[in-house]
Amino acid sequence: MLATQICQKDNRFYFVAYPAEDLLRHVKFVSRFYGEQQQVLEASRVSPHDEVEQFIAKIERSDTAFQREPSQLKIRAIENFYETAESQPPIPGTVLLFTREELMFEPLSGFEHMGNLHEPHEPFIIIDGQHRLAALHFYLLKHPEESRHMDVPCIIFDGRTQDFATEMFVVINSTPTRINKSHLVDLYEKIAWTSPDKKLAARIADMLYAEDDSPMQYRINRLGGRSKQKKWMLQAELFNELLRWTKGWEGDGHALRREAADRYRILRDFFKAASSTWGDAWDHERYMVTKPVTLKAMIRVAVELVQQGDALPEENRVERWKARLQPWANEKPRFRMDGFYERFAARGQVERTRRIFNELWRLIQ
């Protein structure tokens, strides 16, 4: 396909006037859902007479790429605009596309930046413009003759600009169209402008979720997760608590990986000791021990132990902390769900987390 190569600093990307019908055959509509925060179109609820619902039902719960969930109302509103727009162009602004493949570009003779761009083997992921293209899909079903006279302006990023494409997605979707904070946490490590302390917090959160020796493995409710285990807390809540600890940290590359591994092991050992101390109250539905408010308070206790110098030596740290946290074992009745909010009365979760931390810390000093 004919394309214009755009050069900015060390980046190369492409502008294409994509024929509408061809474009719709080469894009992938995807959706990423976050725990119980999104409403999914269940098969039993999809109307056989509603083509928009059927379309969305096919792409929901895909776990292959970053994208926000499609909105039925927005698709219908844009389709209606296409129907009623007589003289103005339906899609005057560019649609942003991304492929992980590195595309081949062949300049035309005499033109350095104009040439033939080879299409990827896999469909394009839509960074921005998913609703416009979904509405275009339905519009062309009703008016197929229009496809011969309609081009869609597209900017295409390929595998050489993956970090930039991810950054663009975050910028677009965290400003005019809000998405869940936990979605952004998944992307923090991939974007160039994110501060090192946020990258560090995101890396630790990911390790707590994924590492086989983590007491919190698969217990964190994160975007795109498919584990059927009961979740203890949202990824965004965990990230915010970890950011209190990593705030102001500077470093990159190898230093970040080493720092994340060190801090992960501290929290891993701490929660191993804590789970042993709490005994049958740990991960019990009638106790508040593994609820977000208590988990966040315990992370603060772990940070205090680090600041006191009690995290070293690493050898025998779990046993050492089991002994230190032993007074918590007598507090299990106070952490029963019944009456918990009265025993730790507060004006909100922030104050309640602080109260629980103060009490837990007082017991082990």
Residue 70 is predicted with a pLDDT of 54
| Residue 237 structural domain | 193-364
Shared domain for 7 and 117, answered yes or no, is yes
**pTM as predicted:** 0.60
pLDDT tens-digit map of 62-100: 444 344 445 677 777 888 888 876 667 888 889 999 888
Packing angle, helices 130-142 and 51-59, rounded to 10: 140
* CA distance between the termini of the chain: 69
Question: Does residue 313 lie in a domain region?
Answer: yes
Domain final residue pick, 131, 147, 179: 179
Question: Does residue 50 lie in a domain region?
Answer: yes
Is 118 a residue whose pLDDT tops 70?
yes
pLDDT tens-digit map of 322-343: 999 999 999 999 999 999 999 9
Shared domain for 212 and 268, answered yes or no, is yes
Give the E-state strand segments of the chain in sequence order: 2-8, 11-19, 27-28, 95-98, 105-107, 114-117, 124-128, 151-157, 220-221, 233-234
Is 115 a residue whose pLDDT tops 90?
yes
Shared domain for 251 and 356, answered yes or no, is yes
Domain total of the chain:
2
pLDDT tens-digit map of 247-286: 999 998 899 999 999 999 999 999 999 999 999 999 999 9
Residue 316 is predicted with a pLDDT of 95
Shared domain for 112 and 227, answered yes or no, is no
Shared domain for 33 and 149, answered yes or no, is yes
Residue 78 is predicted with a pLDDT of 84
Shared domain for 141 and 111, answered yes or no, is yes
pLDDT tens-digit map of 27-45: 877 554 333 333 333 333 4
pLDDT tens-digit map of 190-214: 665 678 998 999 999 999 999 999 9
Which of 32-46, 77-91, 129-143, 230-244 is the least confident region?
A: 32-46
Question: Which residue did the predictor score with more confidence, 2 or 128?
Answer: 2
68 in Cβ contact with 84 (< 8 Å): no
Which of 13-17, 63-67, 126-130, 355-359 is the least confident region?
A: 63-67
Residue 346: Cβ-neighbour burial (10 angstroms; 0-12, 13-18, 19+):
middle
φ and ψ at residue 111, rounded to 5 degrees: -130, 110
Shared domain for 15 and 155, answered yes or no, is yes
Shared domain for 271 and 330, answered yes or no, is yes
Segment 289-313 mean pLDDT: 97
Shared domain for 111 and 220, answered yes or no, is no
Average pLDDT, the chain: 83
78, containing H or E segment: helix 72-84
Residues of the chain above pLDDT 70, percent: 78
Shared domain for 90 and 220, answered yes or no, is no
Segment 144-162 mean pLDDT: 87
Segment 280-300 mean pLDDT: 97
Is 364 a residue whose pLDDT tops 50?
yes
Residue 49 is predicted with a pLDDT of 57
